[in-house]
Structure 1
């Protein structure tokens, strides 16, 4: 029977930058200048001098063991070593292995000397050029990993043992099909004893039987009496015990499994035959100290439990073969897993061969985990070099790869190329990056016109969608973390504050160190006080955006689920719902309101209302678990006596819409202010779901009759200004303020001579006259970079107007489409080559930045409201969409009124 000895712990370690260890006979003589490390060991985690080290490194450990019994073997097992390794025992070769994610082992029976010190030497090679090996995001986006990074153990086994087991549940027949392989052909007579019991009740057998055994491999079917299904809400696990015996040898092998079936029909995912809607998070498996593994089982449990508390039912393990312990806990805790092979970069014959071997090793290792319901082959054509749509060779390769994988594992769904053009797939998934509120209309249009109405567009030309389930498997928005917490954890700024990715991730907005330097500029320190306050507002903006993006998908039940990017921050990439240390960000307690199984939400909401305006909004209930209940929906506008309720009878409906369920007239208010619509679903005295929408209500009060000259703008603006009480004058001599979208020389001379001018620059570079102002147009459609963006405003400059520093729903419809760039920037040409543009790098220092924009870690900066002293006068330039919204948008109207009043009084 098996007996295992853990070899994790203290080993000796030594780098070999000149690859001299073999020449100097280190496998025989030992390591001459080593130091102790703890295995599992990722040498980049040593930080000092090791973060960028590539090439050869050596490990050594001395062990003393007893002699194996007759017909026993001693096996040395590694769960994973990155990337290539050679192993010696007592100076003699035990074997070698290539592949950074897959387990391997060597029979060292003949190399061991019993009851004497035995020297194990491991040489690890991780090449600097890793473009042709499966790496995932290590080194390309984040810190590389190298070394003996997973568990190592020694195991005594009888010389006949179970090598692998694959268990396929058959729910229709209440049985399992078991395919197992032995390491050797058994000697007659040989037998196989099978026992199945609940994992938590090993003494309770649901099946027990004995079979004759004659071959190395065998497939048998075992009935499961009183079958209990594995489901996220009840992750029931069984344990299969196999005991193989022949004349002198015996081996006992244990394998857990769950009775679970995943399928799809007519665009609907089915888990155990019932509709499944995915609420997922991308999870990349990088960590602050250990880099690529969680240090303890408690840490794994905490992470999965936090994910469930936020409403998630699935984690997409992004281009990483996750460590076995994590998958075991996903099985136990009921977290679905979308597994994905680590990619390579360069398309070559050898890289494809390595990739396929690594992927099938992963599938073989993880075959019995009921939590895994989807395999991905590629992500966004990484490794296919981004020409899949036009390259027939790669299309054929991918279709054949799908067929081979499906033949090996027909029990799971397969995604051929996650997020981008599909060839042959069980899932039609999309990666679509928008932000909100700025792009909410574009997001709605994308969902309706691109994703739902044209699924064929997500396949290579000539291939049509076949009613595969539609999943938005990447989207999301950034929220900056607390830098103080980062410093407290590391004692200083960590190595990754200088981005560890390749040249494709060296932009300024991906550099935390640069962000800290830039915080003192662009009005940020004046508006937010310190970086911690900015981070809090950034997280609140992230919460607001993700809420809106998710709710639009949940209004559309044809979308079978979503996977947000991502569960936690990873080094410089801060779009996690948790920070890098797996601590919740702002708004954590409200995440289930829009991301839980049962969600109530309002539709057709107008966020900014005039007092006296009548509204009629729908209520939508998204019921992923098919809950049945009778109760009521109650709604209220906070701070008012406006409220209502209506009964609901939910009979397992997955999606319900109640049209015009919320009807009211916006209240009279003395001044503009923030309000909330509160929604609550109540049954049997219990709150089942609740949600809210942010609103403003504004009075239509006349403004002081300030003399204003309006030139070159749409003529309706002057009419609307006059209707609001402003005095429109033709002569600049009579005007206290000039409003124009035409900044020519005469306008500038007016300012230089003491005039006050508001330059309405919402049309950006399309303006006929704009002086020396240059504008950068923000991308209107899908754009990963823009999801890291942050619009901000000095709310104090506008007095008591309801404005959030991070600019929320109160400015929906008036967000700027252009900014005045503070940094160099680029945009792609129609030929695909980037065009680089200069910027006025000191304009922020010559201006008061009242509203601005940045991406990520305060990079790619710009202004959207600037005030400048020019000569004897004042110039206020704004790219907010105020002129076109005047008189219609309550907050936009008051902002322009306030600008006029402020400028006239300066």
Structure 2
């Protein structure tokens, strides 16, 4: 029988900066000038080695062992990043490279039997890591180096079971076991398979025996009336596999695995788990941790994470370009969390990098084959390692096809995604990575869903390849929400090491560096609007909740989309788009995430959010019913704070998607002043509240303006007419005006301003304006943009008393968000047909000469600019705004009130 000894725990450790250790034979004697560390160990956890790449040495002494003559001793490493060279008792026993998968050595001939043993490991992790599988450690976040998973010493028979893979077949009610035996087959041997219930091992469900004639064996084991594994019922079975000598009836070796009876497939764009529709509600999980970096601190931590994920409505975690540790996968299996597994990427396309990548991919699949929670293998992510040229490079296309075919042959029980998020060649998942920010880009997002992803799936394939009914999944999207710096500093008892951004130079922009926030908070007058950073993080998280809720709801309104994976489950260091912060606290509002991210949700559709009193409205209701429950009940709705409410009867079969057209009908009630309101929806089934949802509204009465004399300078007759309709006195000349409203900051307007006049500069067209004075503008990225999802538009609502405005600018600003800002920070843009980077300049000085009432930043308060800026002359004032007010004045309730307020406050600037 096997005998296992855990060699993890206290080891000696020493850095070798000049790489002298092997030349000086450090392996030949006890390691000098070392410190004690706890293995598993990542040396970047040590404060003085957090930025170190290179060579480190580990040493462990352990007691002698009694090794029977029919046994071999194997030294097993769970994972060492990146290259390990190993000595036992000063004797070199081998090396391995690859930082994520296990390896082992037969040390029978060198292990001491009557005295202490000394194990020495030289670990090398190169700084130039473009040709090694790394994932995002070291490139985006803190680097990982060292013996970071367990080390064991195991005594085994001369012939032993190397691995067992279980292939469940739910239709035939069987499981096929494929067995690999290491060593020579001597004598008459049989393999015995015993299947039991994982939670009741005494209950034997099936026994089978087969003669052993080769090192490769397979056997079909019947499993009648098996309980199928699913997220709702994650039932597991154990399989005890034994090699038995027939003559002596002695067990030579045995190994226990577990498996689940489940099947994943797709048909006509629909994922099917155990032949039932599966809708993916996933989160991207990069599995970094605040103290232990790349290793979950404990089983309790893992269980808590999975429970939180389920509480938030998720049924899948996409383990992003990291081979997850086995303990996490075990609890995913036990607790019913689906896993999308993904190989760590290389950067450079070379023969050696491809070999290394292939080795880690195959090693991951072989190690993790029996985990029923894993439904999908990803080969590449966004062409990382393919040098972003898959669409035009036939060699790389053929390479991806070969990889797909090889993995499918190795594991036909799972789906394969060839190139997650970008163009596909040969795949089982047509997935997209699409980054939009809401409410700012709501119309663009709807179009991207309906016209691009759902409407033309073939556009996501390399030319010459086409979709064949693969399910469409949006496997990356998301929005940032800044964490509490105070809580982070309390957790770390000071400034975290990663606050200066420990990634490489490709991810060092100002908005990715938390220290930028400390520099810019007061510099850009954010303290005047938010008070302190804790308040800003509150509003940032509220904005994030609003955005991801709406992003997800719009996808769920389109039945051709088969699911999504939000970026992301938790913050990682500087990247703060997690639903949990880095220390695993839920962000604001996320405790209600299941209202839109759960298996059963109710939503309003085709609704108008900013309403005038007395308007007639008719809105739709959509129900997403992933678990296919019978829908017999009612949908109740109400406009909170008013008397408008109703009840919609439901008598629907157990359909996954139900749309009820124009069932919310009402006349917008009269209110005394403009104010926020909420639409509340409640789905009631069998007398119980089964789902709730809320949407933000504003309701405004139509009120006129006092007879202020305004000149709509070079703005056209339509705008003048709207001003008059709102009660303003429109004059023809600048000289006769109390306020000049214009999009042309020419010499006449500037002279009027210098002479004490009041100017409202509607600069929403930015650099398209021919007369914009000394102001320069930055156009924000239009369409899909990862960077822009870190952005934050804000305003000082206290300045606009009586107008329903939020600090973080929400749905009340729908259609009004700026396309241009006045840049404070330097920034880059892509120029010309070649897409070359053009370096552009901001003007920080403007924050010292002006009052900033509204602005924009990305991430940690970088890439900043203003969208409502006030300057003064001796007696006059000039207010510049890039909000989209000109064409919305008189139509959009909030736009109308904002323009009126800016006119009335002309003397308060």
TM-score class, shorter-chain normalisation, is over 0.9
Paired residue for 2:30? 30
Deviation at 1:412, TM superposition (A): 0.6
Paired residue for 1:12? 12
Instruction: Give the alignment partner of residue 838 of structure 2, picking from 817, 835, 840.
Output: 835
Deviation at 1:776, TM superposition (A): 0.8
1:388 aligned to 2:390? yes
Q: Is the 8 A contact 1:185 1:214 kept in 2?
A: no
Instruction: Give the alignment partner of residue 490 of structure 1, picking from 476, 489, 492.
Output: 492
SS at the partner of 1:492?
coil
Answer with 274-283 or 445-454: which moved more.
Answer: 445-454
Cα distance in 2 for partners of 1:671, 1:425 equals: 56
Q: Is the 8 A contact 2:75 2:107 kept in 1?
A: yes
Cα distance in 2 for partners of 1:272, 1:431 equals: 27
Cα distance in 1 for partners of 2:525, 2:728 equals: 31
Cα distance in 2 for partners of 1:905, 1:794 equals: 14
Cα distance in 1 for partners of 2:431, 2:522 equals: 42
Paired residue for 2:69? 70
Deviation at 1:32, TM superposition (A): 1.2
Paired residue for 1:139? 138
Paired residue for 2:698? 696
What RMSD, in angstroms, separates the aligned Cα atoms of the two structures?
1.1
Deviation at 1:509, TM superposition (A): 0.5
Q: Is the 8 A contact 2:158 2:184 kept in 1?
A: no
Paired residue for 2:80? 81
Distance 1:249 1:632, change over 3 A: closer
Cα distance in 1 for partners of 2:672, 2:732 equals: 33
Cα distance in 2 for partners of 1:508, 1:103 equals: 38
Paired residue for 1:583? 585
SS at the partner of 1:845?
helix
Task: String of CA shifts for 1:400-443, please: whole Å, max 9, x gaps.
Answer: 11111111111111010000011111111000000000000000
Aligned pairs, number: 905
Instruction: Give the alignment partner of residue 617 of structure 1, picking from 613, 616, 619.
Output: 619
Q: Is the 8 A contact 2:421 2:432 kept in 1?
A: yes
Paired residue for 1:847? 850
Cα distance in 1 for partners of 2:4, 2:293 equals: 27
Paired residue for 1:244? 243
Gaps of 5+ in 1: none
Q: Is the 8 A contact 2:739 2:903 kept in 1?
A: yes
Cα distance in 2 for partners of 1:714, 1:35 equals: 77
1:891 aligned to 2:894? yes
Q: Is the 8 A contact 2:713 2:734 kept in 1?
A: no
Task: String of CA shifts for 1:750-776, please: whole Å, max 9, x gaps.
Answer: 111111110011111111211011111
Task: String of CA shifts for 1:824-849, please: whole Å, max 9, x gaps.
Answer: 11211221101111222211111100
- Aligned pairs for 1:188-203 (under 5 A) are 188-203=187-202
Deviation at 1:70, TM superposition (A): 3.2
Paired residue for 1:805? 807
Instruction: Give the alignment partner of residue 724 of structure 2, picking from 718, 722, 726.
Output: 722
Answer with 349-358 or 826-835: which moved more.
Answer: 826-835
Paired residue for 2:513? 511
1:903 aligned to 2:906? yes
Instruction: Give the alignment partner of residue 476 of structure 2, picking from 466, 474, 477.
Output: 474
Cα distance in 1 for partners of 2:675, 2:152 equals: 65
1:642 aligned to 2:641? no
Deviation at 1:212, TM superposition (A): 1.8
Deviation at 1:69, TM superposition (A): 2.2
Answer with 700-709 or 618-627: which moved more.
Answer: 700-709
1:881 aligned to 2:884? yes
Cα distance in 2 for partners of 1:283, 1:174 equals: 34
Deviation at 1:904, TM superposition (A): 4.5
Instruction: Give the alignment partner of residue 413 of structure 2, picking from 391, 411, 414.
Output: 411
Deviation at 1:905, TM superposition (A): 5.6
- Aligned pairs for 1:172-571 (under 5 A) are 172-246=171-245, 250-571=252-573
Cα distance in 2 for partners of 1:445, 1:546 equals: 17
Deviation at 1:249, TM superposition (A): 5.9
Q: Is the 8 A contact 1:287 1:581 kept in 2?
A: yes
Displaced runs of 4 or more, over 6 A: none
Paired residue for 1:711? 713
Cα distance in 2 for partners of 1:115, 1:537 equals: 66
Deviation at 1:115, TM superposition (A): 4.0
Cα distance in 1 for partners of 2:10, 2:709 equals: 81
Deviation at 1:66, TM superposition (A): 2.6
SS at the partner of 1:478?
coil
Paired residue for 1:2? 2
Q: Is the 8 A contact 1:522 1:852 kept in 2?
A: no
Q: Is the 8 A contact 1:627 1:650 kept in 2?
A: no
Answer with 61-70 or 774-783: which moved more.
Answer: 61-70
1:125 aligned to 2:124? yes
Cα distance in 2 for partners of 1:820, 1:340 equals: 41
Cα distance in 1 for partners of 2:889, 2:427 equals: 49
Cα distance in 2 for partners of 1:286, 1:848 equals: 41
Q: Is the 8 A contact 1:162 1:180 kept in 2?
A: yes
Paired residue for 1:868? 871
1:746 aligned to 2:748? yes
SS at the partner of 1:509?
helix
Cα distance in 2 for partners of 1:540, 1:736 equals: 39
Deviation at 1:94, TM superposition (A): 2.2
Instruction: Give the alignment partner of residue 665 of structure 1, picking from 657, 664, 667.
Output: 667
TM-score, normalising length: structure 1: 0.99
Cα distance in 2 for partners of 1:865, 1:66 equals: 76
Paired residue for 1:98? 97
1:757 aligned to 2:759? yes
SS at the partner of 2:459?
helix
Task: String of CA shifts for 1:253-275, please: whole Å, max 9, x gaps.
Answer: 00010001000001110000001
Cα distance in 2 for partners of 1:905, 1:798 equals: 12
- Aligned pairs for 1:143-154 (under 5 A) are 143-154=142-153
Q: Is the 8 A contact 1:71 1:249 kept in 2?
A: no
Cα distance in 2 for partners of 1:239, 1:612 equals: 66
1:166 aligned to 2:169? no
Task: String of CA shifts for 1:145-188, please: whole Å, max 9, x gaps.
Answer: 00000111112222221101111001111000110011123322
Deviation at 1:708, TM superposition (A): 1.2
Deviation at 1:647, TM superposition (A): 1.0
Cα distance in 1 for partners of 2:713, 2:485 equals: 47
SS at the partner of 1:903?
coil
Task: String of CA shifts for 1:629-674, please: whole Å, max 9, x gaps.
Answer: 3111000000011100011123210000000010011110111000
1:40 aligned to 2:35? no
Answer with 716-725 or 616-625: which moved more.
Answer: 716-725
SS at the partner of 1:886?
coil
Cα distance in 1 for partners of 2:186, 2:251 equals: 9
Answer with 17-26 or 243-252: which moved more.
Answer: 243-252
Cα distance in 2 for partners of 1:903, 1:10 equals: 71
Paired residue for 1:856? 859
1:58 aligned to 2:57? yes
Paired residue for 1:791? 793
Q: Is the 8 A contact 2:473 2:564 kept in 1?
A: yes
Q: Is the 8 A contact 1:187 1:214 kept in 2?
A: no
Cα distance in 2 for partners of 1:643, 1:514 equals: 48
Paired residue for 2:679? 677
Gaps of 5+ in 2: none
SS at the partner of 2:748?
helix
Cα distance in 2 for partners of 1:463, 1:157 equals: 49
Instruction: Give the alignment partner of residue 593 of structure 1, picking from 592, 595, 603.
Output: 595
